[in-house]
Amino acid sequence: MIAVVHHPDYVAEAPARSTYRWNKNGLIRDLLLAEGAAIDWHEPLPMSARWIEEAHDPAYVAEVLECRVPAAKIRRIGFPVTRAVAARAAVVPGGTYLAAQLALERGYAANTAGGSHHALADTGAGFCVFNDLAIAALRLVGEGTLNRVAIVDCDVHQGDGSAALTAGHPGIATYSIHAEKNFPARKARSTLDVPLPDATRDVAYLETLERTLAPFLDTHRPELILYQAGVDPFMDDRLGRLALSLEGLTARERLVARLAIDRGIPLASTVGGGYGDDALAIAKRHVGAILTLGRCFADARALRLGVTA
Ligand SMILES: [Zn+2]
């Protein structure tokens, strides 16, 4: 069974004039529900303001939770912060944190939202309000659950917020493989950045991912990977540029899982980016990532226990 974290508040009602695909998380839930007994569901609590403030300025946290985010920040985020959006922003980091705890017990768990890697200390950006990856990492280390966490980001956009919010933290290392000529225009500095040219395609992408991620994990020896599994490197994605095929995306999840499993590192995945007019097709790609990762960890566990799956 694959441990999956979901909360009804993830499926926020779309604010007026929003171009963001708000039904993506509901479709992901529905597709996973169709998997029946293969999925073991868990509901997170909202992250408390105290832990959100480990990553974000208290003034910005209050602006979001009290639904009074200034217009300039709303423009950077890309949608208005309504009551529903604020509730969602607080519960998604709780989900990534719960997925991390479940992964520590079982090897792998998925959050059906999250990967909000562009959110910065004093503002959201690029459809991200609070940075669930940074918040979960800072909490896991801050409360003493773990000594070392890695944020591994395979979204087509750089994980600039995660890098900025955890920069200099001795227990947190960040890895980002992304299209160089893409949002954000001004990149942050991750522990390891792997910028790629447009139209890199499957073979070169997978070769580069393995050649850079394996030594990154060996150097930083994380006790947990928080994985941003954005599917926007896909060839037909509206914001993607790396021209990966569906098979390439699946091979990416298998590779990330193998690198983690070979080193005995648990992994919690978040959804990340995926853009276009066909929300169902996008949700299928996200669910494909969750199921592939889940099966890789289940197979490895069965092998270890001497059980034939
Ligand atoms: Zn993205």
Residue 63 and residue 219: Cα distance in Å, rounded? 39
CA 101 to chain centre: 15
Closest CA to 152 of 99, 190, 185, 101: 190
pLDDT digits (tens), the chain, 309 positions: 999 999 999 997 777 666 666 689 999 999 999 999 999 999 999 999 999 999 999 999 999 999 999 999 999 999 999 999 999 999 999 999 999 999 999 999 999 999 999 999 999 999 999 999 999 999 999 999 999 999 999 999 999 999 999 999 999 999 999 999 999 999 999 999 999 999 999 999 999 999 999 999 999 999 999 999 999 999 999 988 999 999 999 999 999 999 999 999 999 999 999 999 999 999 999 999 999 999 999 999 888 887 654
Report CA(126)–ligand 1 centroid distance (Å): 8
Q: What are the residues facing 175 on neighbouring strands? A: 152, 192
| Tokens coding 263 | 């080193």
H-assigned helices in 149-278: 160-166, 201-220, 246-262
3-state secondary structure of 210: helix
Report CA(184)–ligand 1 centroid distance (Å): 10
Report CA(66)–ligand 1 centroid distance (Å): 27
Report CA(13)–ligand 1 centroid distance (Å): 21
Report CA(181)–ligand 1 centroid distance (Å): 12
Q: Strand locations in the chain, DSSP E?
A: 2-5, 39-42, 108-111, 149-153, 172-179, 192-196, 224-228, 267-270
Residue 104, Cβ density class (10 Å: 0-12 exposed, 13-18 middle, ≥19 buried): middle
Amino acid at 213: L
CA atoms within a 13 Å half-sphere pointing along the CA-CB vector of 162? 33
Write out pLDDT tens, residues 45-68. Answer: 999 999 999 999 999 999 999 999
Any idea how long the chain is? 309
Give the global pTM: 0.96
Peptide bond into 184 cis (omega under 30): yes
